[in-house]
Amino acid sequence: MTVTMWFIYIVMGLTILAAHWIYHTIAKVKNEEYGKVDSGKAIIYYRLSYRRRMHRSLWTLPFGIVILVGLYFVPGMTMNAILSLTAIFVICSIIEIGYTYIKWKKTSTASEQ
C-alpha cells in the first residue's frame, strides 16, 4: 500500500470515530432527558434498559456470525485476517453481554430495595 492509501484510511477512521463520538454525546443527552425504556419500541440503543440491551445484543449475535462466515468468501481476505476478526468479535461480544448482564442484575436489585 502506498502512503496515500494509508492517509485515506486514517482520515476515514478518524472521521468515523468523530461521528461516533458526536452520536454518543447526543444520545447521552437525550437519554438523560427522557430516561430508559424497558417496554415498547426504542430505536436508539442508549434509551434501552440494561435488560433490553442484553436482549438486543443476543438477538444481533447471529447476524454477526453470518457476516463473519460471509467474510470467508470475500476475495483477498486471508485466513489470518478472518480469524483475527472472529477473535475480536467473540471477545467483544462476551465482554458486552457480560457487562450488560451484570449491570442489569445490579439495577434490578437496586430497584427492588
Confidence band, pLDDT 50/70/90 cuts, at residue 110: confident
What is the reported pLDDT for 47? 75
Report the 10 Å Cβ neighbour count for 53. 21
Confidence band, pLDDT 50/70/90 cuts, at residue 4: confident
Residue 101's domain comprises 3-112
Number of H helices, E strands in the chain: 3, 0
φ, ψ of residue 48 to 5 degrees: the values are -80, 150
Q: For the chain, what is the mean pLDDT?
A: 84
| C-alpha to C-alpha distance for 104 and 98, rounded to whole angstroms | 10
Pick from 31, 96, 28: nearest CA to 59: 96
Number of domains in the chain: 1
pLDDT by residue (tens digit) across 47-99? 788 888 898 889 999 999 999 999 888 888 889 988 999 999 999 999 999 99
Asked if the model's pLDDT at residue 45 lies above 70, the reply is yes
pTM for this model (two decimals): 0.64
